[in-house]
Amino acid sequence: MATITLSTDDMTGETLPENTPHTVVKIRRGDEVIEFEIDLSDTSFKKLHDAVNKFAVKGRPITSPSLRESITKDDEGRRFAQEARQWAIATNLQPPVSERGAVPQRALDAYREHLAQQDYCGLPEESKSE
């Protein structure tokens, strides 16, 4: 027996055409977040769009971090990983760290601890996730 699933407009109850996309709404103010998914017909979506647009036209655009900021952050993390690899090889960290490939987390952690013991202040926070 075949199962047929029909989507309906959550506002009107109207049956939606097959492959009608879901609408995802997210509104954030400080720690308060309203986030939900709703099925809407084109007509209902236009009503939602028009209502939100009254606020959006008064707001400011949100931009992602610039490519330059992303590259700089990545470069700092890469530099830190390279330093950690060199330190791990020079100090014969066990098990050994190879000269190629990803730097193991244990080497990054050991290097971070080594720097902390020397009161090193220039450690990039972003390198913790590498």
**pLDDT tens-digit readout, 91-106:** 999 889 999 988 999 9
Residue 2 lies in a domain: no
Domain count across the chain: 2
Same domain, 120 and 73: yes
**Cα–Cα distances in Å, from 10 out to 38, 73, 86, 110?**
6, 43, 59, 54
Q: Could you report the per-residue pLDDT of 6-25, keeping only the tens digit for each?
A: 889 999 999 999 888 889 99
Residue 93 lies in a domain: yes
Where in the sequence is the domain holding 90, given as residue range(s)?
67-129
Strand partners, 15: 8
User: How many whole angstroms separate alpha carbon 104 and alpha carbon 33?
Assistant: 36
Maximum Cα interatomic distance, the chain, rounded to a whole number of Å:
70
User: How many whole angstroms separate alpha carbon 125 and alpha carbon 48?
Assistant: 41
Which of 62, 77, 98 is where one domain is finished? 62
Same domain, 50 and 82: no
pTM: predicted TM-score of the whole model, two decimal places: 0.47
User: How many whole angstroms separate alpha carbon 21 and alpha carbon 17?
Assistant: 10
Same domain, 102 and 54: no
